[in-house]
Amino acid sequence: MTTATLSDLRALESELRRAVSGEVRFDATSKALYSTDASLYSIPPVGVVLPRSAEDVQTVVTLCVQAGVAVLPRGGGTSLAGQTVNHAVVLDFTRHMRGVSRTTMLAFAYKLGMAAERRWKRIRGLDQLGKLIEGVHFQDGSAVETSVGTAA
């Protein structure tokens, strides 16, 4: 939990608005929307940032560390045990940073031992990632359902 004072949090908000190209939300409505996930927990965040780039993420982390405020990366908010809520600055990657970059995919493919260079294409979402690695006999621990069907 943060030990920052209200004036520290206002200063952090101001710095984030100045330094980040993505959206910075410290309003009551955004805090209410991000205070819950699929679990029973409800913890309002300090604020929410929707980064547009890796540089935005680095800036948010740096400024939050300097202010003594926790950072919480959030994806779909589907946690069943409260992992996506906390008194922290929430980084929501779902608006602007949904794609998996070529570098990330090649690193992932390398770990799987695939020659993905010849099959490369820009990936958007779990469904297309699943199609790209089809036949590799890989299954993550969650085996989540995607928008086009169920996981194997």
> What domains appear along the chain, each with residue ranges and CATH number?
6-92 (3.30.43.10), 99-132 (no CATH)
Using the structure block, give the residue that is written with the tokens 């009551």. Answer: 28
Quote the pLDDT of residue 75.
Answer: 75
Q: Select from 27, 28, 30, 10 the least CA-distant residue to 18.
A: 10
Span 36-88, pLDDT tens digits = 888 888 899 999 999 998 889 889 999 998 999 999 888 777 777 777 788 99
Q: Select from 108, 107, 76, 109 the least CA-distant residue to 90.
A: 76
Span 27-36, pLDDT tens digits = 999 999 999 8
Quote the pLDDT of residue 148.
Answer: 54
Q: Is 77 left (phi over 0), alpha (psi -120 to 50) or beta?
A: left
If you average pLDDT over residues 10-17, what whole number do you get?
Answer: 96
Which H or E run contains 123? strand 123-124
